[in-house]
Amino acid sequence: MDFDLSPAAHDACERMWAFMHEHVFPAEPVWSAWLAEHGEHAHPPVMAELKAEARRRGLWNLFLPARSGLSNLEYAAVAEISGWSPVIAPEAINCQAPDTGNMETLELFATPEQRERWLEPLLDGTIRSAFAMTEPDVASSDATNIATRIERDGDDYVVNGRKWWITGAADARCEVFIVMGKTDPDAAAHRQQSMVLVPRDTPGLHIARHLPIFGYQDQHGHSELVLDDVRVPVANLLGAEGDGFTISQARLGPGRIHHAMRALGMAERALALMVDRARTRVAFGAPLAEQGVVQELVARSRIEIEQVRLLVLKTAWLIDRHGAKGARTEIAAIKVAAPAVATAVIDRAIEIFGGAGVSDDFPLAYFYAWARVLRIVDGPDAVHRRTVAREEFRRAAAR
């Protein structure tokens, strides 16, 4: 078993680290200052500069093997690096959620006309997008509960419903929503749903509010939408009627592994900050690094990160060879394990930082909030533990 990076992955990681140190980390205070002055959902101009530099360095659309030439396993190492600055770095290289999942979905299911109108601008980084599945009035962890209606009316579909936690909607560059709803409530449970492409400026689509996460408002936003007699052409259907549930599962598998990769990056940065703090702060007559309780926190963090990284890499390897279906158990497992480890490591870093750790002087408070949210997005932990358990029971019965 060879754990060395491939030459392609090694090269991409070297270029990514250089980009992070020379451009992304210096851009973080510039980004924050711009939003503080112009509003939480404004678009800092520094992002355009970062995107241009990323393209110049060949760090663009690396998540999509057909476009980048990198396998999922090779991309995993690059995605982890981007997680060190999870707000800025993924977008700078056009590998940010929810656009990555939407681009993968359009790559798989869009018509040539849909690809030209939406996929190509997304791949070019000139627009952004959102995925509208979750709803406030039903338990959306079970996607068959989705209640939004998509009804055929001549050459159009008419959409009515309410969505929330729709990431990206607060950004004015978000020009299209992939909306999931029911086209046939009388069909089999997994054939009731369909997806349609809804342009942002469609009459009847309203953004009701932007939801914070633990008090933080992200630049791209997580929003509640109201769809009131929203009318789109039948040509905006994604796939065929009844394909919505299948498309959602195809979309969420790779997205879950991307989240896990970036969560590891957040954990690594938290650990690096923890170690630096412990080396430079003195308490009770000695550096914190010499205190046994601090050494325990550092050691546990390193061990847990390494364990989860191996599982993430195995999952990426399986996806490369057998597709998302062939890694079903592992995708569910890392969706539970990676955010849990990131949350634990960040929490330990906060403990060592003390009051500074819960301030905005360091990234730990935001990291903690986002790592905890990752235990809910793309399906809560309980759903993924259920998936892992079911697979385990099936295996046991087969022996």
Per-residue pLDDT of the chain (399 residues; tens, 9 = 90+): 788 999 999 999 999 999 999 999 999 999 999 999 999 999 999 999 999 999 999 999 999 998 899 999 999 999 999 999 999 999 999 999 999 999 999 999 999 999 999 999 999 999 999 999 999 999 998 989 999 999 999 999 999 999 999 999 999 999 999 999 999 999 999 999 999 999 999 999 999 999 999 999 999 999 999 999 999 999 999 999 999 999 988 886 666 788 999 999 999 999 999 999 999 999 999 999 999 999 999 999 999 999 999 999 999 999 999 988 899 999 999 999 999 999 999 999 999 999 999 999 999 999 999 999 999 998 899 999 999 999 999 887 655
Q: Strand, helix or coil at 382?
A: helix
pLDDT of residue 286: 95
Residues 226 and 162 occupy one common structural domain? yes
| Domain contains 2 | no
Q: Strand, helix or coil at 150?
A: strand
Per the DSSP assignment, residues forming a β-bridge with 195 are: 180, 238
Gap between the Cα atoms of 332 and 207, Å rounded:
31
Count of other CB atoms within 10 angstroms of residue 355: 8
Count of other CB atoms within 10 angstroms of residue 254: 22
Number of domains in the chain: 3
Query: Which alpha helices (DSSP H) does 222-322 contain, by range?
Result: 244-280, 292-322
Residues 98 and 179 occupy one common structural domain? no
CATH number at residue 301: 1.20.140.10
By the 8 A CB rule, do 237 and 157 touch?
Answer: yes
**Sign of the CA dihedral running 316, 322, 323, 326:** negative
Q: What Rg, from alpha-carbon coordinates, does the chain have?
A: 21
| Domain contains 80 | yes
Residues 274 and 365 occupy one common structural domain? yes
Gap between the Cα atoms of 199 and 83, Å rounded:
30
Gap between the Cα atoms of 173 and 201, Å rounded:
12
* Long-range CB contacts for residues 291-298, cutoff 8 Å, separation at least 24: 294/352, 297/348, 297/351, 297/352, 298/271, 298/274, 298/348
Residues 52 and 11 occupy one common structural domain? yes
pTM above 0.85, yes or no: yes
pLDDT of residue 378: 86
Residues 27 and 145 occupy one common structural domain? no
Residues 203 and 102 occupy one common structural domain? no
Q: What is the DSSP letter of 202?
A: -
pLDDT of residue 253: 64
Residues 354 and 263 occupy one common structural domain? yes
Query: At which of 178, 210, 238 does a domain end?
Result: 238
pLDDT of residue 167: 97
Residues 211 and 262 occupy one common structural domain? no
Residue type, 357: G
Count of other CB atoms within 10 angstroms of residue 289: 18
Q: Tokens for 57, please give them.
A: 């360095």
pLDDT of residue 301: 98
pLDDT of residue 398: 59
Query: At which of 238, 260, 290 does a domain end?
Result: 238
Residues 46 and 89 occupy one common structural domain? yes
Residues 332 and 311 occupy one common structural domain? yes
Residues 100 and 207 occupy one common structural domain? no
Q: Which domain holds residue 228?
A: 128-238
Q: Where are the beta strands (DSSP E) in 154-281?
A: 156-167, 174-182, 193-199, 205-210, 222-233, 237-238
pLDDT of residue 254: 63
pLDDT of residue 256: 74
Q: Tokens for 2, please give them.
A: 């060879």
